[in-house]
Structure 1
Amino acid sequence: MFDVPRRVRLLAGAVLPLALLTGCGPSAATQGGAGDSGELVFASIPSEESTSLEQDFEPLIRMLEDRTGKQIRMEKATDYAAVIEGQRSGKIDIAMYGPLSYVVARNNGVSITPVGAQTEGKGKPPGYQSFGVVPKDSPIRSLADLKGKTVCFVDPNSTSGYLYPKAGLAEAGVNADRDVQAVMAGGHDASALGVASGQCDAGFATDTMINELLPAQGAIKPGDLRVVWKSEMIPGSPAAISDDLDPAVKQALTDGFRDANADYLRQHGYCEGECQISGYWGFTPVDDATFNSVRDVCAVTRDKQCTGG
């Protein structure tokens, strides 16, 4: 199995069974607000290649500690359900979400505000696209041609590898539950390779997987797969803060995430060299409306993943 970028894994595991947050005790939000505590809890799900969350986010944490005057403690979450429950119960003050899990949290009454979404480079939008691909010599020209075909998806809980493609199919008049033979490949790489090997007539994977990762690995050659569909831009993974925090702390965190990028952190002595934040260049400002496209896709698909049910 080829290495899948962190952003892909974050989206693929958007809603999983509830699990406990590792070692997470009462946070500032459960003790009368951050103004009454010197500590904030920041939760994230580690990437597969991560050796330490503290190391992944270290420049950002140092900067936010200076901005807020609070110590920030990183906590490892086992899945997004744990992140959602942790912010609901007041045990997490700052959290990293996938776009779908953020929408699920808001749908379930968790009082949070997004303050930034991850972006891979300066000037790049905080998001990416899902591609529908077929072999280069396939007669398939659009999603409407997929009726009766074998189609590779990533996983039912994948935003980009299932939810957005399912909505695209519906708009093309194809019911993903009845009109195609669905194969859950288990990964964006496996979905694309299933098409390349002939296991599937078509499949879905992220733009980066098709354009960059698999060609770089030598798993496919440029042009082996032809793109017949592109999703709209899928929002990047957001950082969200608890609405129960002291207003001054909330503002400091909001302002901090606006400056949370490799250039700023390097210039102000928080890091040297490449200076990435958990594999990304940094964050770009977003608000709740940024994720309306996810809500629109949920309205089309009506999938249980959208409610966390």
Structure 2
Amino acid sequence: MKFTVLALLTGATALTSTAALAQDWRDEVPVFRIGLLGGENEADRLRDHACQEAYLEERLGVDVELYPASDYAGVMQGLLAGQLEFAGLGSAGYAGIYLQDPEAVRPLYTTMQVDGSLGYYSVMYTRADSGIETLEQMEGRSLAWADPNSTSGYLVPNAELRAMGIEPEAYFSETGFGGGHEQAVIAVLNGQYDGGVTWTSGVGDINQGYSRGNLRSMVDRDLLDMSEINIIWQSNLITNGPRVIRADLPQELQDLVMGAMMQLQTIDRACFDAINDGEAMGYWPITSEFYEPIINMRRQATGTR
């Protein structure tokens, strides 16, 4: 009888402990905060990601809040400071965090394009009526980068132009940052710069802004007609950016987020498309090794060891 009572008490204690453990991470993380990169109108970003907020609230059982940043650095610093739990980053943004603290965030997955590739391109564009149709014709003209922490909007085009023997400071009459991809395109359309750089999948219908990317997002929101611009240069393939989660968060929470987001494309396809700037095939699990080329590129660009 004593054994039976002891066994029952032990079993009950184990069940209580298991239940307590199951709730521990929610006590530790009562709010799951998602950082949204700058680069487009804040109201548009919040609207596009509202479905993700609701989707994760239902699956995690905690409040989910969206935090749009004015620039890429805001999201990066929010993750490093423990003020955000989750965010989508460009490859260069992730590399910037990694070089400050390799253990700060964990890449979970990236986006697979409609052709099955895991990359995209940086492109240089000009106004269609500018008469500038080649990179050579951009010499002595002004260029808008997107953001200093953008892979396609600064790091890669800057590095690839230098590899071609073009020193941007000398080649262009002026360079500056547009405050984000969308803002840089608008600045070019308004005549503030002669050209700019942004990101695109490079696959699909060019008249729609391709299948995915900043151009597609702007076309979908009637902010751009592709007949208004010339694409005059394209980079080599760039690794698609990761969705990352803070590595110090409970493993159960990390696993729940990963599982939920990997199912998003089948459970709510419209939401998947809304938060991915156009059409994509799905998500693909990745690790930090996937970004080693970009990490090395950023290390060289910044002189970081």
* Coarse TM-score class (shorter-chain normalised): 0.5 to 0.7
Kindly indicate whether residue 254 of structure 2 is the aligned counterpart of residue 261 of structure 1. Answer: no
Kindly indicate whether residue 33 of structure 2 is the aligned counterpart of residue 43 of structure 1. Answer: yes
In 1, Cα distance between the equivalents of 2:224 and 2:217? Answer: 11
Q: Is the helix fraction higher in 1 or 2?
A: 2
Question: Percentage identity across aligned positions?
Answer: 20
> Shift of the alpha carbon at 1:229?
1.7
User: In the alignment, which residue of structure 2 is the partner of 1:213?
Assistant: 218
Instruction: Look up the equivalent residue of 2:290 and give its one-letter code.
Output: T
> Shift of the alpha carbon at 1:214?
4.8
SS in 1 for 2:53: helix
User: In the alignment, which residue of structure 1 is the partner of 2:244?
Assistant: 240
In 2, Cα distance between the equivalents of 1:200 and 1:85? Answer: 29
In 1, Cα distance between the equivalents of 2:82 and 2:183? Answer: 38
For structure 1, which segment, 192-201 or 181-190, has the greater mean C-alpha deviation from structure 2 after superposition? 192-201
With over 3 angstroms needed to count, the CA separation of the structure-2 counterparts of 1:126 and 1:34, relative to structure 1, is farther
For residues 94-133 of structure 1, what are the structure 2 equivalents within 5 Å? Answer: 94-109=86-101, 110-118=103-111, 125=117, 127-133=119-125
Q: Deviations over 1:239-276 (max 9, x none)?
A: 2233334445544444444x23221x25xxxxxx7343
In 1, Cα distance between the equivalents of 2:81 and 2:223? Answer: 46
In 2, Cα distance between the equivalents of 1:169 and 1:112? Answer: 30
User: In the alignment, which residue of structure 2 is the partner of 1:7?
Assistant: none
User: In the alignment, which residue of structure 1 is the partner of 2:196?
Assistant: 203
Consecutive unaligned residues in structure 2, runs of 5 or more: 1-20, 37-41, 201-208
In 2, Cα distance between the equivalents of 1:93 and 1:190? Answer: 27
User: In the alignment, which residue of structure 1 is the partner of 2:158?
Assistant: 166
With over 3 angstroms needed to count, the CA separation of the structure-2 counterparts of 1:178 and 1:276, relative to structure 1, is same
Structure with max Cα Rg? 2
Q: Contact 2:51–2:271 at 8 Å: present in 1 too?
A: no
With over 3 angstroms needed to count, the CA separation of the structure-2 counterparts of 1:245 and 1:134, relative to structure 1, is closer
Q: Contact 1:56–1:277 at 8 Å: present in 2 too?
A: no
SS in 2 for 1:148: coil
Q: Deviations over 1:172-209 (max 9, x none)?
A: 11112333222434453554465567664443233345
- How many residue pairs get aligned? The number is 256
Q: Contact 2:35–2:86 at 8 Å: present in 1 too?
A: no
Q: Deviations over 1:210-259 (max 9, x none)?
A: 5673598385553x5433321234444432233334445544444444x2
Q: Contact 1:57–1:277 at 8 Å: present in 2 too?
A: no
In 2, Cα distance between the equivalents of 1:90 and 1:192? Answer: 32
Q: Deviations over 1:122-161 (max 9, x none)?
A: 665455322113466847644x664433323334444322
SS in 1 for 2:272: coil
In 1, Cα distance between the equivalents of 2:189 and 2:49? Answer: 35
In 2, Cα distance between the equivalents of 1:153 and 1:85? Answer: 21
SS in 2 for 1:129: strand
User: In the alignment, which residue of structure 2 is the partner of 1:9?
Assistant: none
Q: Contact 1:135–1:196 at 8 Å: present in 2 too?
A: yes
In 1, Cα distance between the equivalents of 2:132 and 2:88? Answer: 42
> Shift of the alpha carbon at 1:86?
5.1
For residues 274-293 of structure 1, what are the structure 2 equivalents within 5 Å? Answer: 274-276=270-272, 279-280=275-276, 283-293=283-293
For structure 1, which segment, 196-205 or 36-45, has the greater mean C-alpha deviation from structure 2 after superposition? 196-205
Give the TM-score normalised by structure 1.
0.63
For structure 1, which segment, 99-108 or 145-154, has the greater mean C-alpha deviation from structure 2 after superposition? 145-154
Could you list the structure 1 runs, at least 4 aligned residues long, displaced by more than 6 angstroms after superposition: none
RMSD over aligned CA atoms reads 4.1
Q: Deviations over 1:1-31 (max 9, x none)?
A: xxxxxxxxxxxxxxxxxxxxxxxxxxxxxxx
Kindly indicate whether residue 235 of structure 2 is the aligned counterpart of residue 231 of structure 1. Answer: yes
In 1, Cα distance between the equivalents of 2:79 and 2:246? Answer: 7
Give the TM-score normalised by structure 2.
0.63
Residue of structure 2 aligned with 1:73, choices 63, 67, 81: 63
Q: Contact 1:154–1:191 at 8 Å: present in 2 too?
A: yes
In 2, Cα distance between the equivalents of 1:95 and 1:192? Answer: 24
SS in 2 for 1:178: helix
In 2, Cα distance between the equivalents of 1:93 and 1:226? Answer: 39
In 1, Cα distance between the equivalents of 2:195 and 2:231? Answer: 10
Q: Contact 1:127–1:233 at 8 Å: present in 2 too?
A: yes
In 2, Cα distance between the equivalents of 1:221 and 1:52? Answer: 22
In 2, Cα distance between the equivalents of 1:35 and 1:58? Answer: 20
In 1, Cα distance between the equivalents of 2:122 and 2:111? Answer: 17
For structure 1, which segment, 167-176 or 52-61, has the greater mean C-alpha deviation from structure 2 after superposition? 52-61
